[in-house]
Structure 1
Amino acid sequence: MTADGHPEVATDAGVVRGRWRPTTGGRGAPRSAAFLGIPFAEPPVGDLRFAAPVPKAPWEGVLDAAAYGATAQRGDPGVVLIPEPSIPGDSTLNVNVFTPSPERPAVGAGLPVLVWIHGGGYFAGSPASPWYDGRNFNRDGVVTVTISYRLGFDGFGWIEDAPSNRGVRDWLAALDWVRRNIAAFGGDPGRVTIAGQSAGGGAVLTLLGMPVAQHLFHGAIALSGVLTDASAARAEAFGRDLAARAGIAPTRAGLSTVLEERILDLQKKATSIGIRGLRAAFTHGLQLGPTVDGDLLPRPTTEALRGGAGADKPLVIGTVDDEFAMAFTEGPMARITPLVPTGAILAALAVPKRQRAPYLAANSDIAARGKARLAGRALSDKMFRVSVPRIAGFRGDAPTWTYRFSWPSGRFGLAGHCLDVPFFFDCLDGSAVEPLAGAHPPQSLSDEIHSAAVAFVTAQDPGWPRSAAGGPVSRVFDLPSTNRPDAYASVRPLLG
């Protein structure tokens, strides 16, 4: 502690100085110490741009960790619903640590740890969002870490002579930093839960299925997880095509001559998923994201989980009800979709012909609300919701809890993508919540969801029955919330 009251912590690379801030809610720990922008690896620029992450060299003196570090996201990608600022700079491989007790505890007395991996389709997003501030997890006795990682082509693009899955390697390096250093911030390295939403939820599932990641965490929470599992051949084809359009060889030397802005421009088309590209995305995965490379990811995540990977780790997995429904209920598609035959809508969303009649029967309530709502639900089901019963089924008797977030936004009338995040972090009073959730979202629901997350991180049980193959049950978060048997029955026709 400094003379002016700022907390200081010694990491294995040097001392960092944080800042105290108040928590909210009037219970638990009244304040939280934030240590922002702590580098866990050297800046991935110059010779290190397309390299595996290199651990941060020790520094002299005290690193003032009062502001968020540089982000891999540049500018405004125009796709995020969460306020995720872009911060310029080279040192993009950094972590933010929030703790109620910034001192090393006695052996066995450390607090449980939550590590958050942001979403953004693997090409956007930022750990510097005010929604990801861990102060209220700290209030309730959980040390919280948010991590940064390389995005887009720099993080996931195939390059002939570069290590694959560089963004995944960044996740591993950040988690290893947590393993080595979190005790100095009051956390227990033996009680680490990873969590993330959207692409971040996909990252959680990817790590859950990775052999080399198993020692780095002990529980997992996947909110609206998106898996890519792109094939090595698909990744290579995209990498060669991007290099050809840039007029250079698909090598580190060649790509290092291309300005970052040019790379971002070249990848934009591939990372913007339009309606025409949905079938390819459903069939082959996203073009930029974790790739089955036969090395770091030896097999697709779904196969790994089916084979028992991560079965010793408790998992909470679920989605919101209307993930991407607004793609059809808002804007031009809301006018066009009612004119399209139902069969054509389902075909465009890669629903096989044999599944269409059973799917329509299972979703008759949604279909009755019109084709736009049906298309939105089908898109949400194909991209997000079908993975919940599928993965829960793969895990068999492994400790698994499923949920649905069904509360409709006061702004859109739907439980849309990202709506659950401020409830999870208990930050309904935060910036930019009202445009997504509407005025006065229910604090009682936030209390329930956040408390369930705290209970899971702390005691590996969120407070509702486990899901099992013989009797799947989910917590449905709404007003009121309920436990519902087979709450994902409406997506089961897509499993056939």
Structure 2
Amino acid sequence: MTRAGAVRGRWRGEPGAPGASAAFLGIPFAEPPVGELRFAPPEPARPWEGVRDALEHGPTPQRGDPGATIIPEPSVPGEATLNVDVFTPAPGPAGAGAGAEGLPVLVWFHGGGYVAGSPASPWYDGRTFNRDGVVTVNVSYRLGFDGFGWIEGAPANRGVLDWLLALEWVRDNVAAFGGDPGRVTVAGQSAGGGAVLTLLGMPRARGLFHRVWAASPAVADVSRDRAKALARRIGELGGIRPDLDGLRSLSEERVRQLQREALRAARGTRGGGAQLVADGLPIGPVVDGDLLPATTTSSLASGVGASVPLVLGTTDDEFSAAFRAAAGRLRWVPRKSALKRLGLAEPRRSAWLEANRGEGLHGTAAVLGRYVSDHVFRAPLVRTVAARELGATVAATDGAAPAATWAYRFSWRSPVSGAAVHCLDVPFLFDVLPEGHVPAVAGVRPPQGLADRLHADVVAFVRGADPAWPTAAGEAFPARLYGSTIATMPDAYASARPLAGV
């Protein structure tokens, strides 16, 4: 029984048996964002009468075939795109099989660069976390220009407002599924990892969660000027004013088409990796001075979120695959010249090459892949760790008790790609290696022991335990290394430090 009405889920396995899991899919937390609610703040779902079947994934903000992606991400048609999927081993009021206070809760935010992705991925099924006594909630949110575009007359950061309302739904309803609203961990990967860091640094999100796990976080922090420039370009391409009336006059599909055209024009002849290095993510949470008063790093350094424990990490070769196809052409290009074209100037260029001497043995394509990985993911992690240290000092000065930060690296190299590429860690984190799509990414015999360890560490953290490796503090901070062996690595992010500027 939710606050809006009763929902009926489906058991997977015999109720009460070890490993049994109940899935409640497509529960609306907001009204469909269509008509007058299009480009508006999310409006809580209206109550319904009777029992609502929650047996199938709800409609997704992602439309159509997203093309080749590492993670299987199905699109589901329909208007009611703001919904949650709840997976629980103990459905019913907290205390009825879940303990007096209920089970810990993991809220998962999918990735996709803030323009794609689907909570309906089989990789995000919560059954393995249920097996280990954790209630899991997957969240959908508006994507692309609908969720994050700047529109005169409409609120900014509509996708972020979706996150907040979904977390309020969890606070108000998760006890009905056996969860404890006082033990909520938010987690995500890529844009989802960026989402949970954005939430951590957002004053308005305070109290809606209690722990954070960010995998390969891609924080957008789009400036208002850049967001407005994209809106103007879309207006020009569509022949409308980029305001609320103008955008509502266009169909959803037409806005997505204009978004693609505008981004393609902005990218010009640059590849995706070069564009990310030069400009960052083009669409995502906007530093609007209101909901997001400052960049995420600045907010964390000011002490926002300092009392919330944080684990964050990256894969070792996030963007190596982006340059593999060009390895033949790049073999004749000097590394320094190639890095200069990507905007890396002296003296940081020499310092970074010195810190990555081993990568140079694999050719210029490998060097560029590591550089983009460092620039987009690993150097921001170093800055986040530094910001958390500053924030802890501010919090302590104000009399608060700051929480710790832990870092990790996922370094296992897939036999398919020969690298620890972006998204490779996700099936290990969820412990879903038997899923059908996993061999295409991780090979036919990925190491189950590695999945056991990473998944167990996430479960322990969600349950409230501190990680078993040293905290990330100081300039040369250590990290857990998830690879062929599990170890603690000192100065784990040395390769990215020359780019971090801290």
- For the pair 1:32 / 2:21, whether they are aligned, the reply is yes
Aligned partner of 1:3 in structure 2 is none
Q: Cα offset for 1:32?
A: 0.4
Question: Structure 1 residues 114, 22: closer, same or farther in 2, change over 3 A?
Answer: same
Aligned partner of 2:73 in structure 1 is 84
- What SS class does the counterpart of residue 36 from structure 1 fall into? strand
Report if aligned partners of 2:234, 2:262 keep a CA contact under 8 Å in 1.
no
Within-5 A mapping of 1:35-46: 35-46=24-35
Cα deviation per residue 1:56-99 (whole Å; 9 max; x = unaligned)?
00011111001000000011222521001000000000000000
- Equivalent of 1:127, from 110, 119, 122? 119
Aligned partner of 1:4 in structure 2 is none
Aligned partner of 1:433 in structure 2 is 438
Aligned partner of 1:236 in structure 2 is 228
Aligned partner of 1:290 in structure 2 is 285
Aligned partner of 1:260 in structure 2 is 252
Cα deviation per residue 1:109-163 (whole Å; 9 max; x = unaligned)?
2100000000000000000000000000000010000000000000000101000
Aligned partner of 1:487 in structure 2 is 492
Q: Cα offset for 1:108?
A: 4.7
Aligned partner of 1:55 in structure 2 is 44
Aligned partner of 1:173 in structure 2 is 165
**Mapped partners of 2:486, 2:339: distance in 1:** 31
The residue identity in structure 2 corresponding to 1:313 is: V
- For the pair 1:158 / 2:154, whether they are aligned, the reply is no
Within-5 A mapping of 1:2-401: 10-22=1-13, 29-78=18-67, 80-106=69-95, 108-271=100-263, 275-276=270-271, 281-282=276-277, 284-329=279-324, 331=325, 333-396=326-389, 398-401=403-406
**Mapped partners of 1:236, 1:280: distance in 2:** 18
Q: Cα offset for 1:253?
A: 1.4
Aligned partner of 2:395 in structure 1 is none
Q: Cα offset for 1:29?
A: 3.6
Cα deviation per residue 1:10-48 (whole Å; 9 max; x = unaligned)?
00001000011149xxx9942000000000000001111
**Mapped partners of 2:346, 2:13: distance in 1:** 55
Q: Cα offset for 1:283?
A: 5.1
Q: Cα offset for 1:231?
A: 0.8
Q: Cα offset for 1:407?
A: 0.2
Q: Percent sequence identity over matched residues?
A: 56
Report if aligned partners of 1:271, 1:286 keep a CA contact under 8 Å in 2.
no
Q: Which moved more, 1:107-116 or 1:278-287?
A: 278-287
**Mapped partners of 1:278, 1:131: distance in 2:** 26
The residue identity in structure 2 corresponding to 1:103 is: G
**Mapped partners of 2:13, 2:490: distance in 1:** 40
- What SS class does the counterpart of residue 219 from structure 2 fall into? coil
Report if aligned partners of 1:31, 1:100 keep a CA contact under 8 Å in 2.
yes
TM-score computed with the length of structure 1 as normaliser: 0.94
Report if aligned partners of 1:275, 1:348 keep a CA contact under 8 Å in 2.
no
**Mapped partners of 2:448, 2:385: distance in 1:** 29
**Mapped partners of 1:167, 1:193: distance in 2:** 19
Q: Cα offset for 1:431?
A: 2.3
Cα deviation per residue 1:277-296 (whole Å; 9 max; x = unaligned)?
65664454322100000110
Q: Cα offset for 1:478?
A: 0.8
The residue identity in structure 2 corresponding to 1:104 is: P
Task: Tell me how large the CA RMSD over aligned residues is.
Answer: 1.8
Structure 1: stretches of 5+ with no match in the other structure: 1-9
Q: Cα offset for 1:348?
A: 3.2
Q: Which moved more, 1:270-279 or 1:483-492?
A: 270-279
Question: Structure 1 residues 30, 369: closer, same or farther in 2, change over 3 A?
Answer: same
Aligned partner of 1:419 in structure 2 is 424
Q: Cα offset for 1:234?
A: 1.0
Q: Cα offset for 1:244?
A: 1.5
Aligned length: 482
Question: Structure 1 residues 245, 434: closer, same or farther in 2, change over 3 A?
Answer: same
Report if aligned partners of 1:219, 1:460 keep a CA contact under 8 Å in 2.
no
Question: Structure 1 residues 443, 28: closer, same or farther in 2, change over 3 A?
Answer: farther
Report if aligned partners of 1:409, 1:436 keep a CA contact under 8 Å in 2.
yes
